[in-house]
Amino acid sequence: MSTFKAIRIDKGETSSHASYVDFSEADLMDGDVTVRVSHSSINYKDGLAITGKSPVVRRFPMIPGIDSAGIVEASTHKDFKPGDAVLLTGWGVGETHLGGLAQKLRVKGDWLVPMPKGLDAHSAMAIGTAGFTAMLSLLALERHGMTPAHGSALVTGAAGGVGSVATALLHKAGYHVIASTGRPEESEYLFGLGADEILDRATLSEPGRPLGKERWACAIDAVGSHTLANALAQTRYGGAVAACGLAQGMDLPTSVAPFILRGISLLGIDSVMCPQPLRRAAWQRLATDLDHDKIASLTIDIPFSQAIEAGAAILSGKIRGRVVVKIDE
Ligand code: NDP
């Protein structure tokens, strides 16, 4: 039986360990579609899996990689045939099901998204789970009735993957975008993506009052903890905050004041189990709303051989925007 190149995470006695291996095709998990992966990406969750810093991996050995794009090699699924270009994010791939940081992937066809017109494997992975989550957040704000006429939009963790795409998408939608970052040296980068103002993240990351001056109509928060509490406290009457991340922490040290005194809504965003109709609609919108020059400006390309290193770097907040991994070097 043939083998392919993959990153494999093995469980040791006290910690897990990631290494490059030749993985046997016979050890792939069940699925009705086999994909030849050309590109993957590095998300925050991949960093957690690769370093073992948080128990996101729930089966060993595991191939990490929550995102992948490539060409169908074999299929018994009615919607896919060999040669089709596809992308995949979520569904527990890279956590409970062998993932995309590998030359081959076998999954349920029901999880796959046909490559939308206007995107290719590289641009889809430049967007990846992080960009898809940013779009789900924007769609949730829109379902809530938010428009640029209501006021400004705050983005937290703006120089990260979710934040970079959120900044570009909110700008394209017509919002005045306030980008919160701890990296003032990335201001020009953020202005280039469409930010109108830069906010020092230190002004949001410490414990604050349950209600403050009303500063923005809506927010996309990738950070959680005190940052989310302060984002809520400074949202205008009737506004909404899409909560999609936990880069500062899982906790939410706030009170009901923003909800019952200002009618603010907290919108939860999950990209992993997102149903297919919303998933495909979000990808279609990403294909039309993100210009290729914007995608290029927020992307760093790395060879497969640097993916383990990049997994560690993303957790230390050193990565700007998105990292695309070219698998078929
Ligand atoms: P990145 O590491 O690329 O970005 C996170 C950003 O958060 C950093 O760049 C930094 O932005 C900011 N940040 C990091 N640490 C802190 C801190 N201690 N306090 C305040 N801000 C901090 O990760 P991603 O963009 O890929 O993911 C962001 C979050 O979203 C993660 O928690 C991830 O797990 C979550 N996520 C959730 C998904 C879902 O389905 N709900 C899907 C995808 C991601 P800056 O340097 O600008 O300050």
- Per DSSP, the residues of 193-251 read HT-SEEEETHHHHS---SS----EEEEEESSBHHHHHHHHHTEEEEEEEEE---SSBS-
Any idea where the domains of the chain sit in the sequence? Answer: 3-115+298-326, 130-268
> What average pLDDT does the structure give for the chain?
97
- Token pair of 84 as six digits: 């089709």
> 15 pLDDT band (50/70/90 cuts)?
confident
CATH superfamily of 3-115+298-326: Medium-chain alcohol dehydrogenases, catalytic domain (3.90.180.10)
- Token pair of 40 as six digits: 């993957």
Confidence (pLDDT) at 14: 84
Fold of 130-268: Rossmann fold (3.40.50)
Q: What is the pTM of this model?
A: 0.97
- 158 touches 180 (CB < 8 A): yes
- Residue 13 confidence (pLDDT) above 90: no
Q: What is the pLDDT of residues 186-224, one digit of tens each?
A: 999 999 999 999 999 999 999 999 999 999 999 999 999
Q: What is the pLDDT of residues 132-170, one digit of tens each?
A: 999 999 999 999 999 999 999 999 999 999 999 999 999
Of all atoms in ligand 1, which is nearest to the CA of residue 249?
18
Which stretch of 61-65, 156-160, 272-276, 292-296 has the lowest confidence by average pLDDT? 292-296
- Residue 329 confidence (pLDDT) above 70: no
Confidence (pLDDT) at 313: 95
Confidence (pLDDT) at 206: 98
Ligand 1 neighbours (beta carbon < 6 A): 43-45, 129-130, 133, 157-163, 181-183, 201, 205, 222-223, 227, 244-248, 269-272, 314, 317, 319
- Label the pairing between strands 235-243 and 153-155: unpaired
> 317 pLDDT band (50/70/90 cuts)?
confident
- 125 touches 324 (CB < 8 A): yes
| Minimal-distance CA residue to ligand 1 atom 12 | 157
Buried b / exposed e along 26-42 (16+ C-beta atoms within 10 A): eebeebbbbbbbbbbbb
Percent of the chain beyond pLDDT 90? 96
Of all atoms in ligand 1, which is nearest to the CA of residue 270?
40
Q: What is the pLDDT of residues 214-269, one digit of tens each?
A: 999 999 999 999 999 999 999 999 999 999 999 999 999 999 999 999 999 999 99
Assess whether the previous peptide bond of 61 is cis (omega < 30° from 0). yes
Q: What is the pLDDT of residues 65-119, one digit of tens each?
A: 999 999 999 999 999 999 999 999 999 999 999 999 999 999 999 999 999 999 9
Maximal C-alpha separation, the chain: 64
| Minimal-distance CA residue to ligand 1 atom 17 | 248
Instruction: Determine the residue type at 306.
Output: Q
